[in-house]
Chain A
Amino acid sequence: MIVLDHRGKRQSLMPLNVGPSHPATHGCLRFLTALDGETIVASVEEIGYLHRGFEKMVERGTWQQVVPYTDRLNYCSAIMNNIAYCRAVENMFGVEITERCKVLRVIVNELSRINDHFVCVAAAFQDLGGTTPFMYAFNPREEIMCIWEKLTGARLTNSYSRIGGLARDSYDGFEQDVLAALDSTEKALKDLHACLDRNRIFLDRTVGIGKISAEKAISYGWTGPCLRACGVASDLRKDEPYYDYETYDWEVVVGTQGDCNDRLQVRLAEIEESMKIVRQALKRLTPGPIDIVDPRIRVPSHKLAYQDMEGLIGRFKSVYEGIRVPEGEYYCGSECANGELGFTIISGGSGHPYRIKVRPPCLTQFAAFHELVEGGQLADSMAVLSGLNIIAGELDR
């Protein structure tokens, strides 16, 4: 491929198509590169290979039926998406969920965050050729997955949250399981830090790679750990607190220079913060109701439906017609593992959503991908890609 550079000089480049089916493009990502030797001169990313029409599909069902679709957004932390969506709809109703539900949501939220960050760091290691840290990170993740199995019946697509509550209460021994998982998380963190903190090969490959300035990151609309790695202490849990996040004792982790290493280290440090939050939340977990008692929002329990006329009607109406969300347009963003997951919801007042627009955190990060890799080596692009934690599920929807 002969091209002219900006000074009008002839350059001979090799076009290389990376993805959509490629070991490093987890999910289905694709980017085209023009290589000069091994150096990436230009890169163009292309999205849409995992497009399922999320936003159109959800218009066909009721409001509650959106929840399983949200599982498939960021499938590494499905419960977080459920909760983010349910929170958005609950805010439209203007209702307050029960205390126990709040605390449980915080616990599963933070466990999902741990899970997601572990997947990201493990995948980054795998892409840098370190298979052993990958396994170290996956051991505690497996324990959390086992908690998911017991709690929700599923490992990956949990659909745990419901508008106005949760699908079911926690099981006996939930606290002990979580504490055990936290212990093995701590051990894995120690192992991971031993593997990467002073490893010259790893540092050479990540420090100063895929650097981005805070201003530029903000202009691209970055959020979450990737933005925090640039040194911007932006976290919705602190900025617009919900679920009493402000009352827990934890810190927002920030990086210094916004390179690949910072992004991974910020994630590892956030796991520690999440562990702090979970430990505190477990202490606040007191017995109580899980769901809102309001047949217009949360489907009444079986007991009520069988013994009570209103309960039966409420159940019938919320199953057949769906709950009726107040008319209007609303945006609500939650701090998910990758950044701000926002739902712009337009309701016509009927039992079906009129329109739900998702603001995925990955999209803005992937939009800046070419800036991060251009001028670097081909191998660097993989380090950058896995450090950004692009999840094709929420990127393409």
Chain B
Amino acid sequence: MDIIESKTWVEWLITIGKFAFCFVPVLYILLLIPMERRGAGFMQDRQGPNRSYIKIPYFGKIRLLGYVQNMCDGTKLFFKEMFAPKGANKFLYYVAPAIPFAIVFLSPCVIPWFGPMVFEWGGKTVRIAGSIVDSDVGVLLLFGLSSLSAYGAVLAGWASKSKYSFLGALRTSSMTISYEVCLGLSMMGILLLAGSFNLTDIVNWQEHHVWGIVAQPVAFFCFLIASIAETGRAPFDVAEGEPELVAGYHTEYGAMQFGLFYMGEYSHICINSFLIATLFLGGYSVPFVTTETMQAHMGGSLAILFGVLAFLALAFLHLIYRYSAKLAKRAQSNKMEILQEYKLYKLIAWVAVVVFVALGACAWLFYNPANFVVNGFAVGSLATAVGTALIHLLVLVVKSVFFCWVWIWVRWTLPRFRYDHVMHLGWKIILNIALINLVVTAVIAKLVGGN
């Protein structure tokens, strides 16, 4: 009871509300799958999936720029029959796909989504950490969790009773272990500079000094390569190398079991991009602006935020209008259908522009924390804290989406490594570079900064 009473209800609300961040990787899957498919189409001079549609009144067939295809695929996977090959270890076979997916919900707990919220509430200063678990060994916990997902692949490969799956499982386990080492070592430099394992402290250090990518450029590239390898995506997808191993460890899986592996992979990408953004790109911190400055000019900051959103909506509108004009000139049989569909997007985007502009103007003109009083209770400080958190979150999302795109970019650019080349790269090149980087960083840090 003491614990419960030691905090006010607002504190409890926010603390519990933070658990919603567990679902961020799952949301990212929804973002990443269409991004990957259309991104692949973009890079390969083709359209990508864009034919599935939902029919609604007036606007007709709505394809959501190809997004409906992913819903269809998800539905298909969901309703397909689940089966296990003869002779497979049934229990492990069914449990294995759940492991990587379960970790998806655990991994986000240590990532700081926003700076610590500090606000006055009922005469007391309340401080709420930006991550779900504000742990002093945050990074280690994250690594521990994310390397657990290798168990899923290993068990799946072993339990399937197929040689292809088995070879895939062997490859994936050795690769995950090797690159886990590289990942840890390349990260040590920035930990050394920040002097903490706590991710919030690391972001804080970057906010007040320089971003990790500037302080540790070599480590950044090592980390990027190692984390691409750790997710087991192309060009490091030897574990599911299609030509030789059919589909690697998930050869025998179908239906949603396969879907779970698939989603596990995508959310692993999400977690790793958040990690890179946090360690090397200043995490939630806004470039060139400290949190204190931002909070001092909260109204202006929010106005800029909404302005940026309005600009994005306008850019989207520009694309839609330009394409509609091009389409109108073409002799395409389904032209009218598409133009009708675009009316919906135009409507939504115009509404968004108006709303964002209005919100921005309101924030600019009327934001004054001192005036915010509800039932005689000053909430201005809370409003500023929430506003800061929102901006932080958005900045972090933008940074991580950029890294997600890097994953897709790399995948559709490079051919696949051979298994022994991957090992060679990991143990003989990246590991050594990371070690040298660590030693050099340590020496320089000692010479320049004392401890």
Give A contacts to B, CB under 8 Å.
14, 16, 18, 22-24, 38, 125-136, 139, 199, 201-202, 204-205, 377-382, 386
- Please tell me if the beta carbons of B417 and A132 are within 8 angstroms of each other in the complex: no
**Besides the known contacts A201-B414, A380-B418, 12 further A-B residue pairs in the complex with CB atoms under 8 A apart:** A14-B163, A16-B163, A24-B242, A126-B243, A129-B242, A129-B415, A130-B415, A135-B46, A204-B417, A204-B421, A205-B421, A378-B167
- Please tell me if the beta carbons of A132 and B44 are within 8 angstroms of each other in the complex: yes
Contact of B419 among A127, A131, A379 (CB under 8 A): A379
- With an 8 A cutoff between CB atoms, is B413 at the interface? yes
Contact of A382 among B44, B243, B421 (CB under 8 A): B243
Contact of B416 among A128, A132, A133, A378 (CB under 8 A): A128
- Contacts known (A22-B246, A378-B244); A132 close to B419, Cβ less than 8 A: no
Instruction: Give the docked Cα–Cα distance between A134 and B244 (Å).
Output: 18
The proximity string for B residues 408-433 relative to A, scoring 1 for CB distances below 8 Å and 0 otherwise, is 00001111111111000000000000
Give B contacts to A, CB under 8 Å.
40, 43-46, 163-164, 167, 234-235, 237-238, 241-244, 246, 412-421
Contacts of A127 in B (CB 8 A): 243
- Please tell me if the beta carbons of A38 and B167 are within 8 angstroms of each other in the complex: yes
- Please tell me if the beta carbons of A379 and B414 are within 8 angstroms of each other in the complex: no
Contacts of B44 in A (CB 8 A): 131-132, 134-136
Min C-beta distance of B178 to chain A, whole Å: 15
Contact of A201 among B43, B412, B416 (CB under 8 A): B416
Min C-beta distance of B186 to chain A, whole Å: 20
24 inter-chain pairs at a CB distance below 8 angstroms, sorted by A residue, are A14-B163, A22-B246, A23-B246, A24-B244, A125-B415, A126-B243, A129-B241, A129-B242, A129-B415, A131-B40, A131-B412, A132-B413, A133-B415, A134-B44, A135-B45, A201-B421, A204-B418, A205-B415, A377-B419, A377-B420, A378-B167, A379-B418, A379-B419, A381-B244
Contacts of A136 in B (CB 8 A): 44-45
- Please tell me if the beta carbons of B45 and A201 are within 8 angstroms of each other in the complex: no
Contacts of B237 in A (CB 8 A): 129
Contacts of B43 in A (CB 8 A): 132
Instruction: Give the docked Cα–Cα distance between A127 and B418 (Å).
Output: 11
- Please tell me if the beta carbons of B235 and A201 are within 8 angstroms of each other in the complex: yes
- Please tell me if the beta carbons of B418 and A202 are within 8 angstroms of each other in the complex: no
Instruction: Give the docked Cα–Cα distance between A204 and B43 (Å).
Output: 24
Contact of A38 among B235, B413, B416, B420 (CB under 8 A): B420
Min C-beta distance of B26 to chain A, whole Å: 27
Instruction: Give the docked Cα–Cα distance between A18 and B417 (Å).
Output: 20
Instruction: Give the docked Cα–Cα distance between A130 and B416 (Å).
Output: 7
Contacts of B241 in A (CB 8 A): 129, 379
Contacts of B46 in A (CB 8 A): 135
Min C-beta distance of B210 to chain A, whole Å: 31
Contacts of A379 in B (CB 8 A): 238, 241, 243-244, 418-419
Contacts of B40 in A (CB 8 A): 131-132
Instruction: Give the docked Cα–Cα distance between A141 and B246 (Å).
Output: 27
Instruction: Give the docked Cα–Cα distance between A203 and B243 (Å).
Output: 18
| Interchain Cβ contacts within 8 Å, total number | 82
Min C-beta distance of A12 to chain B, whole Å: 14
- Please tell me if the beta carbons of A377 and B418 are within 8 angstroms of each other in the complex: yes
Contacts of B246 in A (CB 8 A): 22-23
Instruction: Give the docked Cα–Cα distance between A127 and B245 (Å).
Output: 11
Instruction: Give the docked Cα–Cα distance between A180 and B372 (Å).
Output: 69
- Please tell me if the beta carbons of B235 and A139 are within 8 angstroms of each other in the complex: no
Instruction: Give the docked Cα–Cα distance between A386 and B415 (Å).
Output: 14
- Please tell me if the beta carbons of A139 and B415 are within 8 angstroms of each other in the complex: no
Min C-beta distance of B409 to chain A, whole Å: 11
Contacts of B235 in A (CB 8 A): 129, 201
Contacts of A377 in B (CB 8 A): 418-420
Instruction: Give the docked Cα–Cα distance between A125 and B416 (Å).
Output: 9
Min C-beta distance of B373 to chain A, whole Å: 59
- Contacts known (A128-B416, A132-B44, A135-B46); A23 close to B242, Cβ less than 8 A: yes
Top 9 A-B pairs, shortest CB-CB distance: A129-B416, A130-B415, A135-B44, A24-B243, A382-B243, A127-B243, A128-B415, A129-B415, A379-B418
Min C-beta distance of B37 to chain A, whole Å: 12
Min C-beta distance of B45 to chain A, whole Å: 6
Instruction: Give the docked Cα–Cα distance between A156 and B235 (Å).
Output: 33
Min C-beta distance of A375 to chain B, whole Å: 13
Contacts of A132 in B (CB 8 A): 40, 43-44, 412-413
Contacts of A202 in B (CB 8 A): 415
Instruction: Give the docked Cα–Cα distance between A201 and B241 (Å).
Output: 14
Contacts of B414 in A (CB 8 A): 129-130, 199, 201
Contacts of A14 in B (CB 8 A): 163
Contacts of A22 in B (CB 8 A): 246
Contacts of B416 in A (CB 8 A): 128-130, 201, 205
- Contacts known (A14-B163, A129-B235, A132-B412); A38 close to B242, Cβ less than 8 A: no
| Chain A residue, CB-CB nearest to B414 | A201
Min C-beta distance of B112 to chain A, whole Å: 35
| Chain A residue, CB-CB nearest to B417 | A201
| Chain A residue, CB-CB nearest to B46 | A135
Contacts of B413 in A (CB 8 A): 132
Which has the most chain B C-beta neighbours within 10 Å: A24, A133, A199?
Answer: A24
Contacts of B417 in A (CB 8 A): 201, 204-205
Contacts of B45 in A (CB 8 A): 135-136, 139
Instruction: Give the docked Cα–Cα distance between A132 and B40 (Å).
Output: 8
Contacts of B412 in A (CB 8 A): 131-132
Which has the most chain A C-beta neighbours within 10 Å: B163, B234, B237, B415?
Answer: B415
Instruction: Give the docked Cα–Cα distance between A22 and B243 (Å).
Output: 8
| Chain B residue, CB-CB nearest to A18 | B244
Contacts of A135 in B (CB 8 A): 44-46
| Chain B residue, CB-CB nearest to A188 | B45
Contacts of A128 in B (CB 8 A): 243, 415-416
Instruction: Give the docked Cα–Cα distance between A380 and B40 (Å).
Output: 26
Contacts of A139 in B (CB 8 A): 45
Instruction: Give the docked Cα–Cα distance between A139 and B164 (Å).
Output: 33
Instruction: Give the docked Cα–Cα distance between A135 and B41 (Å).
Output: 10
Instruction: Give the docked Cα–Cα distance between A102 and B419 (Å).
Output: 50
Contacts of A126 in B (CB 8 A): 243
| Chain B residue, CB-CB nearest to A378 | B244
Contacts of A16 in B (CB 8 A): 163-164, 167
Min C-beta distance of B407 to chain A, whole Å: 15
| Chain A residue, CB-CB nearest to B40 | A131
